[in-house]
Structure 1
Amino acid sequence: MRKKKSKFSCGACYYPLYFPENDWESDILKMKRTGLNFTRTAELLASWDRIEKKEGRYDFSWLDSFMDLCAKHGIKIILGTGTASPPHWLRRKYKDISVKNRDKIECPSLGMWNWACPNHPGFLSEAKRYIELITRRYKDHPSLFAWQIGNEIGYPFVPKQGCKYAEIYDYNEYTVRKFRSWLRNKYRNIDELNEAWMWTPTNICFNSWDSVDAPVSLPIEWGNLTAWCDWREFCAENMANYIGWQVKIVKNFDSVHSTCVNIFFIHESDPFGMIISMDPWRLIKMVDVLGIDIYPTLHKRWYRQPEYSSLFLDLALSVASHKKKPLWIAELQSGPIGGWVTGPEGRGNSEEINKAFFDCVSHKSELILFMGWRDFPQVPLYWGGLVDLKGNLSERSKKLKESLNLVNKNYSFFQGAEPIKNEISIYLGDKNRIFVTAIERQDFLLESIRGIYQILWRKGFNVDFLNDEDMMSLNTRKETKVIFAPAAFCFSDKISQKILNFVKEGGILFAGPQIGFVDEKYNRRNEAPEDILKVLGIKNLEILTGENPKILLEKEKKVISGYHHKVYFEPSREISILGRYLGEESPAISESSFGKGRAFFVGTHLENAWIQSENENIAGFYYQILKKLNIFPPIECIFEKKDGKTPNFDVHLLKSKNIFIIIFINLNNWKGKIKLAIKNIEI
């Protein structure tokens, strides 16, 4: 059992081989003086590829020295298993070791990590040998704190030049063979597979398992939808099992230290991780800790999407906490980043880095690692660094020291602090993530998620995220009072039944166009699921697209504009009409009482419309409904607009015994007077 901590766990990644050896100890001492007590190394930059440059000849000397220095000065290390960056000689020894894209082209050398096929027997044998070696060597080292499995687990994610999304891997024959075995477990016989994959223009029928191909054409290219969704579901499951395989090897030699992964989510090249097979809900089952990588100003995210970091953190905290596991920040932006010589992409100054730090603290991140302590002179690309290229302290490191002093001074409060329990959840289903990726509508779903999240976030609501497994255990999630289901196009009949029971027992549902349009087999339903229609109290849905319909709110007498879909419907029983299409008598928004709960149907995508327009009437519509239902944010900012500028506040309320901690982040440096209210008590 580890001793109870007296300081917040915070550090910065450090890669010794990139810097002169006589700098290592002085860098460690500067880390220590800044207030850092952790580092991470050997997971990617200077890893297996640098330790075993020639087969069977190992050079651990530099890593030994660095770990000894860390132990000397009380710095704990998260050590990588190195499997993301295997040595280059493996490509010569095993000619078919690389992952392949759908054109059967190998992932090139001198490029992205995670290039080796996780199903190749040669790679697995070599990786097992190396993991066993490094685990045995360092498991008892006094500086070791935890093991990081690989790095940013998944297939290579950087798109080809000129492409929007990541390439689709892995068509390596060993992966395809494993896919066939997976299909045999899912479908009882080949006839059942042929029936499941029936929709295809050429109506292919396979006559043996060995003849089954991994699908290459995307559904939007007239490829087989169910086959493609099976393929990506398998790849996500297979990648998680690959992580579990590594964890088992580590645990065979070291049952003391924790294991973690580091991932990202809502990334432009693959928003929901279904192309690169990075599925947090699957991965969390394999490790002790979920780690995430977050770079708020990369691609200027924070300036375009002020809710970005909070959304990512809420999502990650949901994934980890639902499995009762900790959340760590494996990589947090530490300075200016991106853009090569024309960069950086955003300021990344001390003020922004400090805001990102406290955003992580407010989301119960138990450990925060900055990426990295020093920037890399070998790469003419801005990539952060709490200090400059020469290792000199900067305004960023000085500001972080002040923040750590503040947190550590009050650490007894922060250590036991919990975010106020969530009452509002957003449903982000597993099948739906695969489905929208298959039809290249992931941006539509992401915009829907962002829209409703941003509306709630600006008001101060805490938001939880639910996947399909969470939905199946709704009866045990007593804190969930409200579920928003934006662009929830695909889910099972069992999920429909759970939603019905949730509302019947007093829950509140917000639903929109095409809810449940596709079932868990990726087949189209005739209409929305029967249980959903029963809850909503509507029937005879007629769907129009491209309308961006205008809606007159009945009570407020205000007009709001929707997005994309316009749904006509009829009441199937007595319901309330909250809005009608402008110039028509047709209902657009309805409220239904069902059992002890309520269900709202909006015949267009107001979430997407909010992102497009930020029309305050849309946000006000949701706020008024929640207020009527006695649903309030834990903490709310009340402000007066100045010069038409809307503030972007990120406000969080944490409770430690009888003490409240308010973390208030002014993202766009808005100036003016505000009031803070905790459950209607102004402070």
Structure 2
Amino acid sequence: MRPWPDDRVAFGGDYNPEQWPREVWADDVRLMAEAGVSFVTLGVFSWSWLEPTKGEYEFGWLDEVMDLMHRHGIAVDLATATATPPPWLSAAYPEILPVDREGHTLWPGSRQAWCPSSPLYRDLALSLTDRMAARYHDHPALAMWHVSNEYACHNLPCYCDTCAAAFRRWLEHRYTTTDALNEAWDTAFWSQRYAEWDEVLPPRLSTTFNNPTHVLDYSRFGSDTLLDFFLAEKEVIRRHSAGVPVTTNFMTLSTFRLLDYSDWAPHLDVVSTDHYVVDALEHPRAELSFHGDLTRGLAGGAPWMLMEHSTSAVNWQPVNPAKRPGDTLLDSLTHVARGADTLGFFQWRQSRAGSEKFHSALVPHAGEDSDRFREVCALGAVAGRLGEVVGSRVEADVAVLFDHEAQWAVAGPCMPSTAIDYPAAAHTVHRLLRDRGVTCDVVHPDADLARYRVVVVPTLYLVSDEAAAAVAAAAEAGAQVVVTYFSGIADPDDHVRLGGYPGAFRDLLGVRVEELFPLRVGERVALDGGGHGTVWSEDARAGEAEVLHTYGDGPLAGRPAVTRRAVGEGAAWYLGTLPDDATLGTLLERVVEDAGVAAAAAVPPGVEVVRRRSADGSWLFVLNHTDADATLDTTGHDLVSGTDVGPSTTVAARTAAVIREA
């Protein structure tokens, strides 16, 4: 076993030598040395090469590549190759194929065409995992095991009969009796009462809306089913390869919402994720920062691995623009600033054919004589100089709560508005605090909130009594708590909390809402004193709370829109709408000032600053996203340029500095 590289920020990515003739492999390791690559991920989509027919294995080529990596000092993150079945498996056993909500079979010819509940697929995958773990457990290049790949990216939810039977078993384990199920799903509505477990089906396409709690439970079932599959592979690996870390790559980006990673994270030896810049978003780099903080929250504040991102364009958006010069470095260091100790890319060498041939790579189609590869080499050199940062933690006094179950529930049928997007309020608050140099941890509602000075509760529609009590306790103990619209509405069974909204937070906020007034797409509501709200509004009574803003027009003119209530040593703020950036930014400035939270550094607008700290020191990451040079007051040593700086330093446009502070 080789230890994971920790004398630098580990640098590398997916290596797919089976796509290339052997004579290319020698050139690969030459270029890897030039670029400073310290790890590769092998075998992710190699099942058909490792087991070309059932029970007949061909490991010789992988042996050769593993040995090649060892000779060149490159650590291997070895995948179990179980992410996608080979053609012989689908042809021989078509019952493994997933089925969509309308009953259509999803055929092979792409990737991940397998039913998450299929016992046959599971048995064959575990057999391959067993063979690989037995063969490579003591290989000197092996540093980590990588189970499957991007679970649920394409095959969840599945609505086949196998999933229906598995769902019934899951429900019986969760509820024990059909009476308890009927209570949780409130099946008195629309004559849905179940007398026997065999009557329950997945929420397939029906005449009209499915039962919302039924839909919510099916999301829980899907996440739990794939987690159980991961744990089964991990157990096989452990039998042969005890002591070698095991991970799988999450997908913590806005477009993926199918797994509850807060349940998964405790089972990974190190949390890893894939993240790609989504150019269609209004603020794509702010979203990148948010999901770095979310991944760190899943890791319990510990450093994490960026398993995949891209040097430039991806292949799966309607339009796939190339990154601007410098963005490969800037995006990568944004991830490191927010806790990544590993920088991985998909992939090492850009494919010449296949669905991802126009997805960028460390070695582009243009080859080594290209600006992009020169930028890759520059990034590899910087990663080599960042070894002293490895193991340090990000400094944050603000918690933003994020819950996948609440996200599933908000996306369920029959909500007050289909325009409401669960992460919108969280992303907005996070972005505006980021713009002001304030770093946030993005954490599950069950996280320990005691150490935070500010706790933001954005659109937490579904919340447990325990989590609501923890938020109230944080305010009593001195935190500034900010709760946004459509929070606290339902309990974990998706039953509305009666007596007036915002339900679980009504007493904490001193606000009682009688009726919801969601806004139409593009509609605005004026706020007194200037500014406006979007997305949402509601008919509130302030009660014990101080009214900071009222609605300035429309049917709710004069009603409270933003309130504040003193609570114990802290305060509870409520946003009944999503204010414009200027109004909300000013409000958040007051919140952090009241909390005694300061920016990591004073910088011009558009410059992102984050501090990582350990017992040995602190490092200020300065990420200049603007087209102008930025100057700030700081003294220390810049690990990017390799120069001493102070008492001020200038960070050039669209570049970054990592300053070991004096």
Aligned 1:15-164 pairs, distance under 5 A: 15-44=16-45, 47-113=46-112, 115-156=113-154
Aligned pair count? 626
Q: Which residue of 1 aligns with 2:411?
A: 437
Contact 2:85 2:114 (C-alpha < 8 Å) held by counterparts: yes
Mapped pair 1:379 → 2:354: yes
What's the counterpart of residue 660 of structure 1? 618
Aligned-partner Cα distance in 1 for 2:575–2:560: 9
Residue type of the partner of 2:158? D
2:549 aligns with one of 554, 573, 579: 579
1:299 and 1:406 mapped to 2: Cα distance? 26
Match of 1:389 among 352, 365, 371: 365
Distance verdict in 2 for CA 1:27–1:390, change over 3 Å: farther
Amino acid corresponding to residue 135 of structure 1 in structure 2: A
Q: How do 1:479-498 and structure 2 match up within 5 A?
A: 479-498=451-470
Amino acid at match of 1:216: R
Partner AA of 1:19 in structure 2: W
Q: Secondary structure at the match of 2:82?
A: coil
CA contact (8 A) 1:539 1:570 kept: yes
Deviation at 1:106, TM superposition (A): 2.0
Q: Secondary structure at the match of 2:446?
A: helix
Could you list the per-position Cα deviations for residues 290-341 of structure 1 after superposition, in whole angstroms to 9, with x for gaps in the alignment?
2111222x5455x74230211111111110125x5x411111202333279x
* Aligned equivalent of 2:585: 619
SS at match of 1:306: helix
Change (3 A) 1:519 1:223: same
TM-aligned CA distance change 1:339 to 1:205, over 3 Å: closer
Change in CA separation of 1:255 and 1:103 when aligned onto 2, cut-off 3 Å: same
Equivalent position amino acid for 1:265 in 2: T
**1:546-565 correspondence runs (5 A):** 546=519, 548-552=524-528, 558-565=529-536
Distance in 2, Cα, partners of 1:540 & 1:390 = 60
Mean CA deviation greater in 584-593 or 17-26: 584-593
TM-score scaled by length of structure 1: 0.86
> Is this contact kept in 2: 1:8–1:411, CA < 8 A?
yes
1:398 partnered with 2:356: no
Hey, what's the Cα distance between the residues in 2 that align with 1:480 and 1:217? 44
> What per-residue deviation string (whole Å, max 9, x for no partner) do you get for residues 76-99 of structure 1?
111111111122211233231112
Give the distance between the partners of 2:122 and 2:550, measured in 1 at CA.
60
Deviates more, 1:231-240 or 1:185-194: 185-194
> 2:411 is paired with a residue of what secondary structure?
helix
d(CA) in 2 for partners of 1:515 and 1:304? Answer: 24
2:475 and 2:567 in contact (8 A); partners too: yes
Q: 2:161 aligns with which of 150, 156, 173?
A: 173
- Match of 1:24, SS state, is helix
Q: Following TM superposition, by how much is the alpha carbon of 1:430 offset from its aligned partner in structure 2, in angstroms?
A: 3.7
Match of 2:291 in 1: 312
* 1:497–1:5 Cα change, 3 Å: closer
Alignment partner of 1:466 is 2:443: yes
- Change over 3 Å in CA distance of 1:498–1:418 after alignment to 2: closer
Using a 3 Å threshold, how does the CA distance of structure 1 residues 211 and 406 change in structure 2: closer, same or farther? closer
Residue of structure 2 in register with 1:507 after alignment: 479
Instruction: Give the whole-Å Cα distance in 2 for the aligned partners of 1:103 and 1:416.
Output: 48
Q: C-alpha displacement at 1:173, in angstroms?
A: 2.2
Can you list the C-alpha shifts for 1:345-376, whole angstroms capped at 9, x where unaligned?
22225511111121122122122212112100
Task: Kindly state the Cα deviation for residue 566 of structure 1 after the two structures are TM-superposed.
Answer: 2.4
User: Residue 538 of structure 2 corresponds to which residue in structure 1?
Assistant: 567
What is the identity, as a one-letter code, of the residue corresponding to 1:627? E
2: CA distance, partners of 1:281 / 1:617: 33
1:509 to 1:42, Cα distance in 2 relative to 1, 3 A:
same
> How far apart, CA to CA, are the structure 1 residues paired with 2:80 and 2:93?
21
Counting only pairs closer than 5 Å after superposition, residues 218-297 of structure 1 correspond to structure 2 as 221-268=208-255, 270=256, 273-274=257-258, 278-296=259-277
Give the structure 2 partner of residue 643 of structure 1: none
1:670 partner amino acid? D
Indicate the percent of aligned positions where both proteins have the same amino acid: 19
SS in 2 for 1:636: coil
Is the Cα contact below 8 Å between 2:168 and 2:200 reproduced in 1? yes
- When residues 585 and 231 of structure 1 are mapped into structure 2, their CA distance, relative to the original with a 3 A threshold, is closer
Q: What is the CA distance between 1:654 and its match in structure 2?
A: 2.2
Task: Go from structure 1 to structure 2 and tell me whether the alpha carbon gap of 1:590 and 1:209 turns closer, same or farther (over 3 Å shift).
Answer: same
Q: CA deviation at 1:544?
A: 2.4
How far 1:529 sits from its partner (Å)? 5.8
Give the alignment partner of residue 170 of structure 2, picking from 182, 190, 194. 182
Inter-CA distance 184–352: structure 2 relative to 1 (3 Å threshold): same
Q: Which SS does the other structure have where 1:484 is aligned?
A: strand
Q: CA deviation at 1:512?
A: 2.7
Determine if the alignment matches structure 1 residue 670 to structure 2 residue 627.
yes
Aligned residue in 2 for 1:321: 300
**RMSD of aligned residue pairs (Cα, Å):** 2.7
| Structure 1 pair 529–587 and aligned structure 2 pair: CA distance change class (3 A) | closer
Partners of 1:339 and 1:153 lie apart in 2 by 17
Q: What letter is aligned with 1:53? A: P
Work out whether residues 339 and 382 of structure 1, in 8 Å CA contact, stay in contact via their aligned partners in 2. no
Cα-to-partner distance string for 1:425-469 (whole Å, 9 max, x where unaligned):
111124311201223858621222221111111111111122233
SS in 2 for 1:359: helix
Q: Does 1:360 align with 2:362?
A: no
Return the alpha-carbon distance in structure 2 between the equivalents of residues 149 and 442 of structure 1. Answer: 36
Judged with a 3 Å threshold, the aligned counterparts in structure 2 of structure 1 residues 92 and 388 are, in CA distance, closer, same or farther, namely: closer
Preserved CA contact (<8 Å) 2:203 2:215: yes
Q: Secondary structure at the match of 2:458?
A: coil
CA contact (8 A) 1:243 1:283 kept: no
Change (3 A) 1:671 1:2: closer
Deviations 1:223-272 (A, max 9, x none): 1111111111111111111111110111111012111111213343x4xx
* CA deviation profile, 1:500-535 (whole Å, cap 9, x unmatched): 222122222112333211121111222236652221
Aligned residues of 1:27 and 1:391 also touching (Cα < 8 A): no
Alpha-carbon separation, structure 1, partners of 2:240 and 2:445: 35
Match of 2:387 among 411, 419, 423: 411
- Call closer, same or farther: CA 1:446–1:677 in 2, change over 3 Å: farther
1:447 maps to 2:428: no
TM-score (norm 2): 0.88
SS in 2 for 1:578: strand
